[in-house]
């Protein structure tokens, strides 16, 4: 039984990826971060989102391949009030719990958060 569980865990880990994204366009002051949080949570994605000083939005998303692909599609559209010009997408390797949670909080606090 243990071998089967180990194999399932390995398969699940192989289907996970972490993506760093910068979204440009009219994406601040239009509810983009709240949109990102709601969609990420509904897809079971962990990570964070924040506004950048240059007017763009930055997000780090971690989850199953299919959920990540769907999330990228949602970010390309954004909320109705946004105008997304471009997504700069970079796949990341291994990351720490601190990087994923957006803070130095305990690993158990992982979810999807807003960074300031």
Mind telling me the catalytic residues? 33, 51
Coil/strand/helix, residue 80: coil
Q: Is 39 exposed, middle or buried (0-12, 13-18, 19+ CB in 10 A)?
A: buried
Region label for 58, one of left (φ > 0), alpha (ψ between -120 and 50) or beta (otherwise): beta
Q: Which two tokens stand for residue 97?
A: 């719990």
């Amino acid at each position: 039984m243990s071998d089967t569980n180990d194999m399932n865990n390995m398969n699940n880990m192989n289907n996970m990826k972490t993506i760093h994204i910068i979204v440009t366009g009219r994406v601040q002051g239009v509810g983009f971060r709240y949109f990102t949080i709601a969609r990420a949570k509904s897809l079971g994605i962990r990570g964070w989102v924040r506004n950048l000083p240059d007017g763009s939005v930055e997000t780090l998303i971690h989850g199953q391949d299919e959920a990540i692909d769907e999330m990228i599609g949602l970010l390309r559209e954004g909320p109705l009030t946004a105008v997304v010009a471009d997504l700069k997408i970079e796949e990341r390797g291994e990351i720490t719990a601190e990087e994923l949670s957006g803070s130095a909080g305990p690993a158990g606090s992982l979810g999807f958060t807003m960074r300031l």
